[in-house]
Chain A
Amino acid sequence: MRAGDRPAVAIAGVGQAGPVAADSRSIPEMVLAAVEEALADAAIGFDGVEAVVTASVDLFDGLTASNVAITEVVGAVMRPETRIAGDGLCAAIHGACELRAGACETVLAVAHGKASMAPHWALTEWAMDPVFLQPLGIDFLVCAGLQACALAQGDGGATERWAELAARRAAAGDAAIAPPRSAAEILASPVLASPLRRGMAAPLGDGACAVVLRAAAGGPGEAPVRIAGAGWDLEPHSPGERDLARWHGLERACARAGLDRTDPGLELAEPSCLFAHEEELFRAAAGIGEEAPLSPGGGLFAGTAPHVAGLSRLIACARAIRDGAARRALAHGAWGPAGQAHAVAVLEAW
């Protein structure tokens, strides 16, 4: 997304529904609320959208080709739409590709998820290798526990540190889904997957995000935020094939996005960390020390819908840049067991 004669990609509007613990609205209603907010924010109507990229996962929605349910409310009837089954940030990144390719001038990127529909972690078992891993009952939660265990090896203070981090993040958020808790309470909360306790996991709920992207030349009068770089990566599947103490995939994704780990030059990072220990993996992989604010609004600990997370992080970055709180920010999305897949977007003020 850098240089060349291709158009730049501006973030022209953002909208969100939720996250809340359980949204009584249907998926289309929830998505429509996010889309209407994004369109209003971009000061366009549905007619201003030329193409749509959505992100959703059939098994999590309990629907065959689940983007069928939202074709109307994303304005995709008789328009180009494609659906990436992965984290919502992929929808924005692929939408940016369509703009850079010159396929259209305006793209609407949308992601939705409702964790309230079914036990989320149990569903993730169906994303694991059905020959070697699924029969052992290994799901994303178990993998997170394995990863935390690998990190805690020889690190006696790890769990206390994660509990404090989780307490701090939860307190910073608006606690839409779960009430904030002290580190001591978190350490006393039930074990999810040892050594992880419930309070060390971001609360899951329902939500939708929508982002209007526009091909832009830049300059005065332009939307104030642009996507300056993007990268994504898929690591080997089995946790046994990976060094669980590092997010190598995120390192590669950041490099592809043009980020220099030794000097990322970021004023804000919004990672998709569903567990407290993942923040340490994120910092190490992206090369982010204590100088740049990270998840000032609590990140996913304020609540998140699964696989909408990355797009919600992009929205958080875009808002911060618009508000003047940062000039360069990193949005991150992740999916798969123990951070198997990552996507990042670098956002900058014009």
Chain B
Amino acid sequence: MTAGAIAAEPLGVACPMDLGWRYASGAAMERFLAGLRERRIEALRCDGCGRRYLPPRPLCGDCRLPLDRWVPVAAAGTLEAWSVYRLPILDGRTGEPRPTPYGIGLVRLDGADTTINHLLAETDPGRLRIGLRVRAVWREELRGALDDILHFEVAR
């Protein structure tokens, strides 16, 4: 190759990334996660607007008031939004692709006002619609993490 010529294949430098972080859950989330180990779901209710928040958090963003009133939430609710995801996508926990297709939904659990973003057992779009009643399917061994709920299934 003469000086100044450009290689046919562009040169690249590989920088493999292997990083990890230790995240603090925060007091509200810690209580929520501890509850999951006993299949208990709790939300925080805002004294200003009455909104019951999942996930629990320190402050209501609308009213800008601290949240400390816990309210019980059921492990069943209403499907408020849905899709069937068909692309291979990486699981943020493992870095491995998830098997496709898989259902996703926003579920408004009975007793909460925000929705929970989770997986659905149903993958047939013809059988999914907004307003369906759904319930949580729990993992056998509970670990105190959101994926203690494997997915939601349609209550028929």
**A24 located at the interface, meaning its Cβ lies under 8 Å from any Cβ of chain B in the complex:** yes
| A72 and B61 contact, CB distance less than 8 A | yes
Interface of B is mostly: loop
Minimum CB–CB distance from B55 to chain A (whole Å) comes to 11
CB-CB under 8 A for A32 and B58, given A23-B24, A26-B26? yes
In Å, the complex CA distance between A331 and B122 comes to 58
Minimum CB–CB distance from A110 to chain B (whole Å) comes to 14
CB-CB under 8 A for A29 and B26, given A72-B59, A134-B15? yes
**A75 located at the interface, meaning its Cβ lies under 8 Å from any Cβ of chain B in the complex:** yes
Inter-chain contacts of A182 with B (CB < 8 A): none
One of A26, A62, A78 near B19 (C-beta < 8 A): A62
Inter-chain contacts of B24 with A (CB < 8 A): 23-27, 29, 114
CB-CB under 8 A for A72 and B57, given A27-B24, A29-B27? yes
Instruction: Give the size range of B's interface with the partner.
Output: 20 to 34
Measured CB to CB, the nearest residue on chain B to A114 is B24
**A73 located at the interface, meaning its Cβ lies under 8 Å from any Cβ of chain B in the complex:** yes
Measured CB to CB, the nearest residue on chain B to A78 is B62
| A135 and B13 contact, CB distance less than 8 A | yes
Measured CB to CB, the nearest residue on chain A to B27 is A29
In Å, the complex CA distance between A32 and B19 comes to 27
Interface 1/0 per residue, B5-30 and A, CB below 8 Å: 00000000101010111111111010
Inter-chain contacts of A126 with B (CB < 8 A): 15, 17
Interface 1/0 per residue, A70-93 and B, CB below 8 Å: 011101011000000000000000
Interface hit among A115-123, A264-272, A277-285, A294-302 = A115-123
In Å, the complex CA distance between A134 and B12 comes to 13
In Å, the complex CA distance between A134 and B58 comes to 39
Inter-chain contacts of B59 with A (CB < 8 A): 28, 32, 72-73
Closest 10 A-B residue pairs measured CB to CB? A26-B26, A62-B21, A77-B61, A72-B61, A46-B64, A117-B21, A26-B24, A118-B21, A72-B59, A29-B26
Task: Please report B residues at the A interface, Cβ cutoff 8 Å.
Answer: 13, 15, 17, 19-27, 29, 57-62, 64
28 contacts between A and B (CB under 8 A): A25-B26, A25-B27, A26-B23, A26-B24, A26-B29, A28-B26, A28-B57, A28-B59, A29-B58, A32-B58, A61-B21, A62-B19, A62-B21, A62-B23, A72-B61, A73-B58, A75-B64, A77-B61, A77-B62, A116-B22, A117-B23, A118-B22, A126-B15, A126-B17, A130-B13, A130-B15, A131-B13, A135-B15
